[in-house]
């Protein structure tokens, strides 16, 4: 089954060494669960911005909201596919 490779992140566009990393060997299912939680948090946070931002920023926030919704649907589809392949 697919597993993760070591990947670092949080370099602030290369201005400093990475602060965090994804460990090698995590299962795809575990990764998808964590990705779902992270996307849900981003979705809910961004929704608050959509509701409270002024017009120019509000349009950008709604565009981000739609992108997050697409990502959530893709992850959900992967998780459903993984469940069906185990049955």
pLDDT by residue (tens digit) across 9-47?
Answer: 999 999 999 999 999 999 999 999 999 999 999 999 999
CB distance 8 to 21 below 8 Å: yes
State the virtual CA torsion across 11, 16, 19, 24 in degrees, nearest 10. Answer: 70
- Model confidence pLDDT, tens digit, residues 49-85: 999 999 999 999 999 999 999 999 999 999 998 888 8
The pTM of the full predicted model, rounded to 2 decimals, is: 0.82
The verdict on residue 52 lying in a domain is yes
How high is the mean pLDDT of the chain?
95
Residue 50 belongs to a domain:
yes
Query: For the chain, what percent of residues have pLDDT higher than 90?
Result: 87
Give the residue among 31, 32, 33, 67 at the shortest CA–CA distance from 47: 67
17 in a structural domain: no
55 lies in some domain:
yes
Looking at the structure of the chain, the number of domains it has is: 1
């Amino acid at each position: 089954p697919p597993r993760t490779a070591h990947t670092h992140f949080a370099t602030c566009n290369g201005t400093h060494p990475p602060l965090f990393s994804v460990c090698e060997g995590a299962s795809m299912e575990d990764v998808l669960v964590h990705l779902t939680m992270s996307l849900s948090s981003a979705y809910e946070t961004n929704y608050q911005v959509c509701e409270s931002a002024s017009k120019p920023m509000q349009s950008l926030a709604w565009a981000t909201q739609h992108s997050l919704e697409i990502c959530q649907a893709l992850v959900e589809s992967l998780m459903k596919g993984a469940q069906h392949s185990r049955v």
